[in-house]
Structure 1
């Protein structure tokens, strides 16, 4: 392939990506924004209140968060009624997640591990708010010389399009909220399972639970 052809091809790919994100941002502002039912600031306040009321008891913190969300009549119809935990392998990191809500524009989960893990954040089509409940998360952007440190009560906001290395040194659980084009994030969540772990039962559970919640909320008119 000639150098000029490579340049034109690379330029065309960049143009396609730029066009995609430009159109996506217009859709996000014009359509998606009306379908968001969660507020990052309210979730942060809920996480802090749950931590203050339950100390370092992760199970009690999670139970309080879920009960408070289910007590809100505006949110309850869109929340999962089952506490279903499943493993999640993504970006080289392994943990478990409990899906509280999933739709085209948002997801809300509890994610964590008592053992510790480390991996690639992924580069996503949604903003991700990682509310630390117990433990500590470390993060790093290329070019930085010091880690970002997130302790209980803090929020790690990974903006759409950004990428980081992250680590939970000894064990950490978080309330994770993503808003944007959620289907664009799914392949990242499936890639390790399809290419390395080959844990088909877990992939099936993830597909079944996520699909059930997304389709159910779509039927209710929630994108």
Structure 2
């Protein structure tokens, strides 16, 4: 008696999936081991740059941002977006606004913040995230602790890849956020709130358009 056709079909799909994963994994492993070769920015320099911008301009957030972007553009003119295109960002229940300075497959660099305050879930990410506080103070919390982590202006909050926290940005908190690792999987977190709650498709379109433009442009300019 021959096996049902459905069983053969399922077996074929499982074989195909196993073969595909077997082909993809070595490529992923090789790229993972060499991710640092694709990075343009250095998180220690970004922290130093943030501190110098704060020392120069105090609580003037716009002047701080201009100082940072000007220096980065001087160092990486082809990879820094000078179009200050601010857009809302809803992710993990938190809401703020962002300006995308750089986006690629392995890095993104943005100014993120809010004038009115917000809090939410960091998300679980496939990249290390360095949150350089420019103005205000960020708070973070992990289960089991009884006191918050406190990150004032000039400090950096490093959220390690795969880790998760609750965070809060009170009124007037802005940061230079730098992520390095695998960026495309992080986009689902950035889009989820729009699709499940806010339905702000105008902002979603702006985010997709600018992100895709920067990612594709930087991929074309990439030198292996």
In structure 1, list runs of 5 or more residues that go unmatched.
Answer: 1-18
2:73 paired residue number: 70
Q: Distance in 1 between matches of 2:25 and 2:131?
A: 23
**2:133 and 2:174 in contact (8 A); partners too:** yes
TM-superposition CA deviations, 1:115-171 (whole Å, max 9, x none): 000000000000000000000000001111110000000000000000000001222
**2:89 and 2:190 in contact (8 A); partners too:** yes
TM-score (structure 1 length as normaliser): 0.86
Q: 1:57 to 1:25 in 2, by over 3 A?
A: farther
Q: Distance in 2 between matches of 1:200 and 1:37?
A: 31
Residue 155 of structure 2 corresponds to residue 154 of structure 1: yes
TM-superposition CA deviations, 1:32-85 (whole Å, max 9, x none): 21010100100000000000000110010001000111111xx11111131100
TM-score (structure 2 length as normaliser): 0.86
**1:103 and 1:222 in contact (8 A); partners too:** no
1:44 paired residue number: 47
Q: Distance in 1 between matches of 2:25 and 2:124?
A: 13
The structure number with the bigger radius of gyration is 2
Q: Count matched residues.
A: 203
Q: 1:205 to 1:222 in 2, by over 3 A?
A: farther
| Ranges of 4+ aligned residues in structure 1 off by more than 4 Å | 19-26
RMSD (CA atoms): 2.0
Q: 1:133 to 1:29 in 2, by over 3 A?
A: same
